[in-house]
Structure 1
Amino acid sequence: MILTKKSPTTKESRPKTRKQPFRPLSTLVVLFAFCALVSSAYQLYELRKEVNQSIAQLNQEKEDLLQQQKLLEEEILQLNTPSYIEQLAREQLGLVRKGEIRIAPKTE
């Protein structure tokens, strides 16, 4: 008994593949998901841009406040000097030194 090997035919050598049917619903779902992803990415971009603008504005405000603080500290140092206190007393309160006569302009 001699066994002969059967040679495969062209039909048997290829696996059977079925053509997938067109599914409009799944295509629509994928398209909707892609649009939602793009929309979310754009919203995040706009939000990031707005946050960066707010940060820049707050940094500028901080710099302005630090400059104002520096000027106020300098004014405090100046206000604590005896000569400046005397000058303010003369100008605002009308005080005079001993032996001085105050001459005020006539107000109408």
Structure 2
Amino acid sequence: MKKSHQKIKSKQRLRFRPGVIFVLGLVFAGAGSSAWQLWKLHVSVEQQLAQLNQEKETLLQQQKSLHEEIAQLNTPSYIEQLAREQLGLVKHGEILISPKN
């Protein structure tokens, strides 16, 4: 009688109830959904990071060209050229000849 009683108990342990299967399904669905959302977030962050790195490179190149322009603007020969072209200034002994408008 003991053996038959043990076989019945072991068979009962192996039986899954529909409620347990439903709850386990919900848990796996929730875990899968969370994993999918995390993956999508990761992809989005990677794309933003790549875009920002590209923008950073563009801004660094622009900064470099602006520093070069500042260095050029501070040279005496360029200042003299601007004074001649924009202000109409001349050196001592020179005569300014400008076209009529």
**TM bracket (short chain):** 0.7 to 0.9
Give the structure with higher Rg (CA). 1
Aligned to 1:80: 74
The one-letter amino acid paired with 2:43 is: K
Aligned to 2:40: 46
Structure 2 unpaired stretches of 5+: none
The one-letter amino acid paired with 1:59 is: N
69, 84, 93: which one aligns with 2:87: 93
Secondary structure at the residue paired with 1:36? Answer: helix
Q: Which moved more, 1:32-41 or 1:98-107?
A: 98-107
Count residues with an aligned counterpart.
97
**Sequence identity (%):** 60
7, 10, 16: which one aligns with 2:6: 16
**In structure 2, C-alpha distance between the alignment counterparts of 1:32 and 1:105, rounded to whole Å:** 87
Task: Kindly state the Cα deviation for residue 104 of structure 1 after the two structures are TM-superposed.
Answer: 2.5
The one-letter amino acid paired with 1:37 is: A
Task: Kindly state the Cα deviation for residue 48 of structure 1 after the two structures are TM-superposed.
Answer: 0.5
Task: State the TM-score, normalized to the length of structure 1.
Answer: 0.78
Task: State the TM-score, normalized to the length of structure 2.
Answer: 0.82
Aligned to 1:105: 99
**In structure 1, C-alpha distance between the alignment counterparts of 2:78 and 2:36, rounded to whole Å:** 60
Structure 1 unpaired stretches of 5+: 1-10
Deviations 1:19-52 (A, max 9, x none): 3344111111100111111111111111000111
Deviations 1:70-90 (A, max 9, x none): 111111111111101101111
Superposed CA RMSD in Å reads 1.9
The one-letter amino acid paired with 2:6 is: K
**In structure 2, C-alpha distance between the alignment counterparts of 1:57 and 1:32, rounded to whole Å:** 37
